[in-house]
Structure 1
Amino acid sequence: MNQQKKILQAMNETGMIPVFNHSDIEVAKSVLKSAYEAGVRVFEFTNREANAFEVFKALKIYSESFEGLYLGIGTIFTVKDAQQFLFAGADFIVSPALIPEVIHYCNMKSVLWVPGCATISEVFQAKTFGAQLVKAFPGNLLGAGFVKAVKSVMPDLNIMPTGGVEPTSENLSTWFDAGVFCVGMGSQLFEKQVISSGQYQVLEEKISATLTLIQKIRS
């Protein structure tokens, strides 16, 4: 099984990819460790802070001690950014939009890329480029109805909603009932208060409970 298939399998098995960014490397390390110990095996750090590249580089080195963990980079808009983060060891690339030049570059490098799509036209284009997973973004605006509509015409497509996905039984059930492959979860999972006060045990318990909830919904 190639690397891309392994990452997809890990995404599907856990059902949830945490989406996180922070300018403090020690905070980022603690969050990554909490997520891993809670059962996360695919983690997306996002390129949103001015020092995101420095933090990611350090985080990637730190992540090597966690067996079976895949660390990707999100919020990638340019080939230059994709190049830089892949050089630093990113396992996969996530974009908020459908960006052909980034896609062609990742295809050339045989790297898993996940584009953000918000219309059937974009989803179809992504599929034509060879997308193995599409990010429905922003999820809270598109809703589960969008996923159902896409799946009705492209049933074999893997979809991951990101943005506004909540760690509640009601919200997660709506998404998984619509047929999502996995979900991306950011601010709803990482409460600012919990992070700023360093309550990493609380965070670990919340992530673990969310993963358990997903398994329960799926079964």
Structure 2
Amino acid sequence: MSFTLAKTERLAAILAQVPVIPVLTFNDVQSGVETAKALRDGGLTVLEITMRTPQALDVLTAIVNEVEGVTVGAGTILEPEHVQKAIAAGAAFLVSPGSSSRLLAAGGEAPIPYLPGCSTASEAMHLAERGVTFAKFFPAGPAGGAPFLKSLVAPLPELHFVPTGGIDMGNVRDYLAIKNVVCCGGSWVAPQQAIESGDWAAIKALASEASALKAR
């Protein structure tokens, strides 16, 4: 496994682009493309497409090919074979909700950056031992929220987190104010109802509000 400096720096550059990374699930390609355009126009240029639907890989490829100015990652990577499929679809980075030895090996050897997940201090320590610098903290709210992440700053200063799960405009600033948080993941910027109704203006407005936030 190899979490190389070059890939870590590439991941750092991606995560630094936005205060919020939209976490998106789509059932059809066109909705995905239009949502990506609205989010981009609102200032959110890094997207995570979750691999939770049969159409996910097609949506990811379509956004990569049709929407300029966005960096698209594949989320909900659960198995080593998901890594290769996401890369083939055009993903620029990989995200998993947790981590396993097999997945860490596959993600570490991938040619694109990988953001593994954790939800406890022990899991965070395990990732740090494997050379991980950036980790997804999921599910952020149920796992302890902003106070938990703040408590990890002193004992694990080398780790930086992307909290995701249970975050919205009501609490996102609490996370972004923490020293070891680089950005947050969230689905509130593209509500499913807005996607289904084609309300791209609403999604753009939510993205504009979120893109104006700043991490510490």
Same fold (TM over 0.5): yes
Give the aligned partner of residue 57 of structure 1.
Answer: 61
Unmatched 5+ residue regions in structure 2? none
Matches within 5 A, 1:97-112: 97-112=98-113
Runs of 4+ in 1 over 3 A off after TM superposition: 1-4
- Does the CA contact (< 8 Å) of 2:49 and 2:75 recur in 1? yes
Matched, 1:134 2:135: yes
SS at match of 2:98: coil
Q: C-alpha separation between the residues in 1 aligned to 2:135 and 2:96?
A: 10
Give the aligned partner of residue 27 of structure 1.
Answer: 31
**Aligned mate of 1:154, from 129, 153, 156:** 156
Structure 1 residue 203: Cα displacement: 0.9
- Equivalenced residue count is 210
Matches within 5 A, 1:1-219: 2=6, 4-63=8-67, 66-67=68-69, 69-142=70-143, 143-168=145-170, 171-179=171-179, 180-186=181-187, 188-212=188-212, 214-215=213-214, 218=216
Q: C-alpha separation between the residues in 2 aligned to 1:202 and 1:82?
A: 33
Q: C-alpha separation between the residues in 1 aligned to 2:46 and 2:35?
A: 13
RCO higher in 1 or 2 (8 Å CA, sep ≥ 6)?
Answer: 2
Structure 2 residue identity aligned to 1:28: G
Structure 1 residue 60: Cα displacement: 2.4
Structure 1 residue 4: Cα displacement: 4.8
Structure 1 residue 76: Cα displacement: 0.7
Could you give the per-residue CA deviations for residues 15-62 of structure 1, whole angstroms, max 9, x where no partner exists? 111100111110000111111111122110000012222222223222
SS at match of 2:63: helix
Judged with a 3 Å threshold, the aligned counterparts in structure 2 of structure 1 residues 13 and 70 are, in CA distance, closer, same or farther, namely closer
TM-score scaled by length of structure 1: 0.88
Structure 1 residue 140: Cα displacement: 1.1
Bigger helix share: 1
Q: C-alpha separation between the residues in 2 aligned to 1:35 and 1:202?
A: 10
Could you give the per-residue CA deviations for residues 155-194 of structure 1, whole angstroms, max 9, x where no partner exists? 23111110111123xx1221122331110011x2222222
Could you give the per-residue CA deviations for residues 60-97 of structure 1, whole angstroms, max 9, x where no partner exists? 2223xx13x21100001111111111122211110111
- Does the CA contact (< 8 Å) of 2:51 and 2:76 recur in 1? yes
Q: C-alpha separation between the residues in 1 aligned to 2:108 and 2:7?
A: 13
Q: C-alpha separation between the residues in 2 aligned to 1:203 and 1:74?
A: 20
SS at match of 2:153: helix
Identity %: 26
TM-score scaled by length of structure 2: 0.89
Structure 2 residue identity aligned to 1:50: P
